[in-house]
Amino acid sequence: MLSDGVQRLARRAAVAALLPALLACDRAWNDPYPGAEHGANILYSAFSQRPRHLDPAKAYASDEYDFISQVYEPPLQYHYLKRPYTLIPATAAELPKVQYFDARERRLPEAADMRAVAYSVYELRIQPGIRYAPHPAFALDASGKPAYLSLTRDDLRGKARLLDFPLTGTRELTARDYVYQIRRLAHPRVHSPILGHMGEYIVGLKEYAERLAAEDKRLNAGRKAGETAAFLELDRFDITGVSEVDRYTWRIRIKGKYPQFSYWLAMPFFAPVPIEADRFYSQPGMAEKNITLDWFPVGTGPYMLTENDPNSRIVLLRNPNFRGEAYPAEGEASDQAAGLLADAGRKGPFIDKVVFSREKEGIPYWNKFMQGYYDQSGISNDNFDNAVRISSTGDAGLSESMEVRGIGLKTSVATSTYYLAFNWLDPVVGGQGDAVRRERARKLRQAISLAVDFDEFISIFANGRGIPGQGPIPPGIFGFRDGPSGINPVVYQLRDGKPQRRPIDEARRLLADAGYPAGRDARTGQPLVLYLDTTARGPGDKARLDWYRKQFGKINVQLDIRTTDWNRFQEKVRKGNTQMFFLGWNADYPDPENFLFLLYGPNAAARFDGENKSNFQNPEYDRLFEQMKNMDNGPGRQEIIDRMVAVLREEAPWVWGFHPRDYGLYHAWLSNVKPNQMARNGMKFYRLDAGLRGQKRAEWNRPLVWPFAVALLLLLLSLLPAIRSWRERERSGAARGMPAALP
């Protein structure tokens, strides 16, 4: 160990060698945040991919929802703590009242036969007094007129950000803003991804979109390149199925019965957008400065977006006009013990500011989390062994190094499913042709289902973070059956009350029954070769591709892996030109319909361009789906779902892969965190102890100066012989000193 004196000297040398700026800091030298933020009530988080859209009519990805869910408020939301996921009002005064009507506009009782229902009417009423976050679009000048709604390009000179507009204003949220957003879904230049889907349900939306498109074309005919498009007045035409009843109430008319529509009302697609904001952002010159609704959202939520540099950082600031929302007082049974009810009844948000920094790479992200500069983190495969310890019973716990730092682990099963799909149109593994052929293919699919061991896949490639699929429905969604009654009997059997994979000999027997004894076609003697289309082709994918081959090799089936780029892969799947492929699905809403529709015949990709990518077709399944999809959750619906899942297990159009389990790490100073797979608006309930964070950061990041000083010293010392040698040469003659230069 170096003496104190030497250490002191070394520290001084290193400080002098670094920047004088460091001298001024009273915080850790490696603190990446400005000194002014030291000790402030700010949540630090990170994002790796820049969000493509923040416009609620366009955004459809979870990493986009991380931001806009804090800003926009749809009428409904999911309860923060309750599971299964439960809808509750957000800005709405209560859950919507749904009324059913027949084709002759006669009101029907709630329990009416679904076939008799021609229309459903959703009436929504919001709470009065909700106000928008301060925004220049609402600003008024001294005469009471809008200050920034008739700007010219000259007015925009010197304005590069939203903060450059000195005046801001606000106004009360009204039903008109919700109606306006539904109109925006049909805007021809917004390109909302759900327009096609909603056009099938919301009465008049499709026709409205066509009229708008024609009007937009007329308005912008002859527009030169670079010219700002004319503002499209969305109020000029009506959507027959959407109407404003009064200042706080509006109605949406849906074709038939579509109970899942309530879930859509909890998504940002149905959040309010004030017409002032649309007008403000549509002015000439705004888009050139990237001041658009797609980058600077305007909402009534707990936070407002004040800084958006998607290449560096995105900042949310507490909305001073937010009414406050009471922390829930009830949740799951374990929530009380987990301390998740400590803030019950208190009004959030509890955090003043949220700073999202862009971290494209996992290593710096992880290291900064470990230094205390990020308050929460996921766990990559690289860091899994450092962070998590799996007990002998298979339970996941934290490693000692994490526990010492007081880090907490929370896990939740994602409402997603990953599967290996068989193309139903394929002559070998598909479900076409005569009964004999179909039966052979069914047994082949079952044999493959048995051979491809997803328990092993989860263990090897996901560090055990997943649950083997027993069907399409993941845990947490109504219709999923846990325990022995929920296992897939084609692949698993019960032993001592626990599910175990059936022996591989059963797969070989099924293969022989399918006409391929020992992996060869009984008629031709040729080996059975199957084809898997995938986009995986990098060096990192090799182990996984080898594993696939090995699984098929267990039953002597040769697997030919056809790698292709994403575009061609999608095209092949869409056109039904594949045999097998891997795919996944992340739930839009927590309803079994959102998973079971992936195998509904009329959704087949090849024929109808739908989401049934395996083109599975089964009349019994389709009939049951139509019956189930509009039912309310209950024993009757569960029974039908059980029958549907049984059909699927027997037909095996997918190898039921796995449902991933998400692992999240949280520092001790961050509380009230409960993972929610369906909603991302929970930041309003997070609480953090900035004092503890500052203390831990200082403790974990004490600068170690002497190694740096020693390294500098060694470098200087290494030059000494050279300097001495040079001086000797200078003193000696050229001939003596430069032998090599004088040939």
Site for other proteins in 339-358 (CB under 8 A): 357-358
Cβ nearer to other proteins, comparing 416 with 432: 416
Residues 292 to 311: which contact other proteins by CB under 8 A? Answer: 292, 294-295, 309, 311
**Could you tell me how many residues of this chain bind other proteins (CB under 8 A)?**
78
From 83-91, 164-172, 231-239, 720-728, give the range in contact with other proteins by CB under 8 A. Answer: 720-728
Among 27, 131, 289, 353, binds other proteins (CB under 8 A): 289
- CA atoms of 146 and 276, how far apart (whole Å): 9
- Cβ of residue 228: shortest distance to other proteins, in angstroms? 12
Asked if residue 371 binds other proteins (CB under 8 A), the reply is yes
Under the criterion CB under 8 A, does residue 211 sit at the interface with other proteins? no
Name which position in 367, 459, 493, 633 contacts other proteins (CB under 8 A).
367
Min dist. Cβ of residue 417 to other proteins (A): 14
Secondary structure of residue 63 in the 3-state scheme: helix
Residue 522, both tokens: 């009984």
How far is the C-alpha of 461 from the C-alpha of 660, rounded, in Å? 11
Binders of other proteins in range 159-198 (CB under 8 A): 188-189, 191, 193-197
CB 591 within 8 A of CB 478: yes
- Range 539-568, binding other proteins (CB under 8 A): 565, 567
On the CB side of 3, CA atoms within 13 Å amount to 2
Distance CA(563)–CA(222), nearest Å, equals: 45
Helices (H) and strands (E) in the chain, counts: 23, 27
Asked whether position 360 contacts other proteins by CB under 8 A, the answer is yes
Give the end-to-end CA distance of the chain in Å, rounded to a whole number. Answer: 52
Q: Is residue 742 within the footprint of other proteins (CB under 8 A)? A: yes
Tell which residue, 96, 137, 123, 129, has the closest CA to residue 273. Answer: 137
Residues 43-82 that bind other proteins (CB under 8 A): 50, 52-53, 60-61
Cβ density class 326-359: b for 16+ within 10 Å, e for less: ebbeebeeebeebebbebeeeebbbbebbbbbbb
Does 363 bind other proteins (CB under 8 A)? Our answer is yes
Among 611, 642, 662, 689, binds other proteins (CB under 8 A): 611
Binder of other proteins out of 249, 321, 556, 701 (CB under 8 A): 701
Q: How far is the CB of 265 from other proteins (least distance, A)?
A: 17
Among 381, 703, 716, 736, binds other proteins (CB under 8 A): 703
For tokens 């804090």, the residue is: 70
Among 3, 5, 34, 333, binds other proteins (CB under 8 A): 34
Measured from the CB atom, is 288 or 626 closer to other proteins?
A: 288
Q: Is 361 among the residues that bind other proteins (CB under 8 A)?
A: yes
Tokens of 504: 């591989």
Q: Are 299 and 277 in contact (CB under 8 A)?
A: no
Rounded distance, CA 588 to CA 677, Å? 10
- 26 touches other proteins by CB under 8 A: no
Both structure tokens of 630:
């509009």
Q: How far is the CB of 571 from other proteins (least distance, A)?
A: 8
Closest CB to other proteins among residues 55, 651: 55
158 is an interface residue for other proteins by CB under 8 A: no
Q: What's the closest the beta carbon of residue 29 comes to other proteins, in angstroms?
A: 6
- Burial code (b: 16+ CB inside 10 Å, e: under 16) for 121-132 equals bbebbbeeebbb
In the region spanning residues 219 to 278, those forming contacts with other proteins, defined by CB under 8 A, are 225-226
Does residue 724 interact with other proteins by CB under 8 A?
no
Among 2, 8, 16, 32, binds other proteins (CB under 8 A): 32
| CA distance linking residue 327 with residue 685, whole number of Å | 6
Chain position carrying tokens 């059975």: 528
Q: Please, which of residues 490-529 interact with other proteins by CB under 8 A?
A: none
How big is the chain, counted in residues? 743
Q: Can you tell me the distance from the alpha carbon of 254 to that of 258, in angstroms, rounded to the nearest whole number?
A: 7
